[in-house]
Structure 1
Amino acid sequence: MLPNWFNKWNSDNPTNIYGPAIAIGVVGGAVLVAAWLVSANQSSAVDSLQTGPRGTGMSVPKFKSDLGEPDPGIAGYMATRSDPVVPQGGEELAGDARENVPPGLEGLTVENYDRLLAAMRQWTGIPDLFEDMDNYQTSVGYTMIGMTQNLNENWDGHVNANAEVGVTCYTCHRGQPVPSDVWFDISPVNERVEGWGAVQNRVTPLSSYTSLPSDALQTYLVDGESIKVHDLDSRVEGVPGVDDYPGIQHAERTYAFMNYISNSLGVNCVFCHNSRAFYDGAQVTPQWATETLGIQMVQELNNDYLIPIAGLLPENRLGPKNGDAPKAACRTCHKGYQQPLQGTNVIKDWPELATTGDPDYGQ
């Protein structure tokens, strides 16, 4: 079929055609598989939440596959809910019929107290909660109930910023005696130096696994220092970081804190800030005000409720480096979502935790 000269040339110059053919087949197969993954599964398809004017890059992108998966904690909470029992008058009260009733709950009917106690034991993973007055968990639990009521009663602007959702023990605990995503002071992270060098250039969970400072949560959520990046005026007299205007180290600490907030809520910078003027409080999104209020709220939680219980806790519950009490931050409640439990209303069934006064059973 082919000319003799061609057959002779092939015979004199043998060539391995299998290697290139296999390579072409592998590459072609990979292209087909990639095309199928993109077109059929759409595993990398994204959706976005627009947070500002078009054309400014102000959006929070999310994989559609992630958006389709609810927070697994929601199912855990729904398994513990029960309807409150509206008192009719004349019922026996918990303070008269039960032992070790937490302060403020003595006036509940026995039926409502028992259902709340059963739920709190499930929420915290402590099956004998409040049974033993000598158990440190009883004293800590009393404090935590007061903290929860305070959150619902006095921090409505953050807790219920979009709609009534409230918080309960489950919001943080998720069935565990110690909530996940609590934090301890780990400074200094560099023992052989002092100053700024002692709190940075070490990859830690508190620095979101970067070389940024690891003391941002301590500085902003306990010490209450103002968040600073730079001075808006050029050639300011004085020494940065000393003469009442921020230095580059303050900016690094701020970035560490902002990075932590973004990861805790599963968002990016422009969820709160305007991409054209990060520094300008007059051009931020509504979420900025909610987050600012949240920072103040967490400062109060840490200083008024969590740090003071250090004396009640056993040694194994204290920080490994400085022996401090576990403290809260954004991720302790949010767990990577914009709203804890994705905005599930957890307080409607538990009016006993909504206020320090008499529960509102909707009578």
Structure 2
Amino acid sequence: MSTIAGRLKLLAALTLAGVAVAGCERPPVDEVQRGYRGTAMVQVYNPRVVAKQAALNAVPEPLAAAPEGGPAAGTIYQNVKVLGGLSIAEFTRTMTAMTAWVVPKDAAPAEAGCNYCHVGGNFADDGKYTKVVARKMLQMTQKINAEWKPHVQGTGVTCYTCHRGKAVPEYVWFQDVDNTAAAGLGNRAGQNRSTPAINGASLPSDPFTPFLLGAEPIRFTGATALPTGNRKSIKQAEWTFALMTHMSQGLGVNCTYCHNSRAFNDWSQSPPQRAVAWHGIRMARALNNEFMVPLTEVFPAHRKGPLGDVAKLNCATCHQGAYKPLYGASMLKDYVTALAAPVPPPAAPAEAPPAEGETPAAPAAPAETSSTSEPASDVPG
């Protein structure tokens, strides 16, 4: 096979797989045209990085399917609050998979196995913070798959999407430390401090707090001139560029994966991926505020950042350098029953009919009420 033919075959395979790497790369590199010629709509592929990324995004084999039927886990085990409606077999299968995804047997001795979350000899005990966190993360996974389909679509996520065999996902973030420079040198205003989060650029080093925790607008093109009150500025543009740099690095793509280079701000000329990314930003923000921040008091000090906040997620947490997590392979299809949506609680056991000749028990009398009483509060007393 000629060199050109081999290169074309590689390009075709990369295009089908969607494997992309961002930035200016040293040769050899491959390029795939994604838009009209002359608009610089090109994705750059580095074979060296592609090979490394492929190994990091390998998908583990699913566990054998659980047999159908059997009692619900919540009717047999104690204190099963999220997955109690699963059958015993499916519940056990899910717990086994979670152990392999998060704290496999080859993890550090203090982290490996069931005892990472459970108190030995009393699995119903909520004494370990890791169990409380794991329960919340199960609910987060179910919510992503059920309510954030505009971003995850049918591929979905599992615990492995972020954890990849590590108790703490490799890519999480904490709020930035004080950016005040040494005495007499002024304040860096969040900038000019090289960090991996922004690929070492001289940009704001924490673009996540305003955009993935707060809801600051991610725009810098004003609709009016400055004297009319337009607050868009070069500094605001740099905050936006910092987030975009993170997204490019986290997904392993060029800017033109989501934008048309002739009109970056024009939605009508943007690829469909821009809308998917728009939902992804809002998903990350919602998950941080709904699931991660409320766990602040649950996490011990050694799991928190320098400012006392909990680890939070960003684009890299799931994507880890791939345009789609695990290059689009769906693990959810093998764990739909447990992770695709909240699991209904186990059905209450049917009340046995009275024996022949036995008088049915009379219903309980209603509680006394007064026509002049205040409406009952729905806040527990």
Shorter-chain TM-score category? 0.7 to 0.9
Change (3 A) 1:197 1:65: closer
1:122, distance to aligned residue in structure 2 (A): 1.3
Letter in 1 for 2:323: Q
1:84 aligns with: 65
Contact 1:230 1:248 in 2 (8 A): no
Change (3 A) 1:208 1:195: farther
TM-score by length of 2: 0.74
Cα separation, 1, equivalents of 2:275 and 2:32: 18
**How is 1:63-82 mapped onto 2 (pairs within 5 angstroms)?**
63-68=46-51, 71-75=54-58, 77-79=59-61, 81-82=62-63
2:99 corresponds to 1:121:
yes
1:185 aligns with 2:178: no
> Is the CA contact (8 Å cut-off) linking 1:222 and 1:303 kept in structure 2?
yes
Q: Secondary structure at the match of 1:61?
A: strand
TM-score, with structure 1 as normaliser: 0.78
- Are positions 1:148 and 2:141 aligned together? yes
Query: Residue 88 of structure 2 aligns with which residue?
Result: 110
The answer for the alignment partner of 2:196 in structure 1 is 205
> Partners of 1:244 and 1:94 in 2: how far apart?
58
Q: Could you tell me which residue of structure 2 aligns to residue 51 of structure 1? A: 34
Match of 2:308 in 1: 323
**CA distance in structure 2 between the aligned counterparts of 1:44 and 1:99, rounded to whole angstroms:** 59
Contact 2:57 2:325 in 1 (8 A): no
Q: Residue 194 of structure 2: SS of its match in structure 1? A: coil
Structure 1 vs Structure 2: percent identity of aligned residues? 37
AA partner of residue 264 (structure 1): G
Distance 1:347 1:246, change over 3 A: same
Q: 2:256 aligns with which of 239, 253, 270?
A: 270
- 1:138 and 2:131 correspond: yes
1:58 Cα deviation from its structure 2 partner: 0.3
The Cα of 1:97 is off from its aligned counterpart by: 2.3
What is the rounded CA distance, in whole Å, between the counterparts of 2:330 and 2:182 in structure 1?
A: 49
Which residue of the partner structure matches residue 272 of structure 2? 286
Query: Is the CA contact (8 Å cut-off) linking 2:250 and 2:315 kept in structure 1?
Result: yes
Query: Does residue 93 of structure 1 match 2:63?
Result: no
Distance 2:41 2:102 in 1: 39
User: Structure 2 CA distance, aligned partners of 1:230 and 1:124?
Assistant: 43
RMSD value over aligned CA atoms?
A: 2.4
Q: Distance in 1 between matches of 2:187 and 2:89?
A: 56
Q: Deviations over 1:90-129 (max 9, x none)?
A: x12211222442x231111111110100111111115123
**Distance in 2 separating the partners of 1:314 and 1:82:** 33
Structure 1 position 209, deviation (Å): 1.4
Shift of 1:73: 4.0
Match of 1:248 among 234, 258, 261: 234
Task: Give per-residue Cα distances to partners, 1:205-244, cap 9 Å, x unaligned.
Answer: 33321221123111110111111223255x4314xxxx34
Number of residue pairs matched by the alignment: 304
> 2:82·2:138 contact (CA, 8 Å) conserved in 1?
no
In the alignment, which residue of structure 2 is the partner of 1:40? none
Instruction: Point out the structure with max Rg over C-alpha.
Output: 1
Which of 203, 220, 234 is matched with 1:229 structurally?
220
Deviations 1:134-185 (A, max 9, x none): 000010011000000000000111112xxx3210111001111110110000
CA distance in 2, matches of 1:215, 1:73: 26
Q: Which string of whole-angstrom CA distances, capped at 9 and with x for unpartnered residues, describes residues 52-86 of structure 1?
A: 212211011102344455532444x424x124335
Conserved 8 A contact 2:43-2:257: yes
Aligned amino acid, residue 200 of structure 1: Q
Aligned to 2:322: 337
The answer to which of 123-132 and 49-58 deviates more is 123-132
More helix by share: 1
What SS does the aligned partner of 1:237 have?
helix
Structure 2 unaligned segments of length 5 or more: list them. Answer: 1-25, 104-111, 346-381
Q: What SS does the corresponding residue of 1:209 show, helix, strand or coil? A: coil
Letter in 2 for 1:333: C
1:349 aligns with 2:334: yes
Q: In the superposition, relative to structure 1, how do residues 293 and 339 fare at CA in structure 2: closer, same or farther (>3 Å)? A: same
Q: 1:191 to 1:322 in 2, by over 3 A?
A: farther
CA, structure 1 residues 198+292, in 2 after alignment: closer, same or farther (shift >3 Å)? same
The structure whose RCO (Cα within 8 Å, separation 6+) is larger is 2
Rounded Cα–Cα distance in structure 2 between residues aligned with 1:195 and 1:340: 41
Measured in 2, the distance between the counterparts of 1:281 and 1:244 equals: 21
Could you tell me how far 1:280 is from its partner in structure 2? 1.4
8 A contact 2:53–2:322 mirrored in 1: no
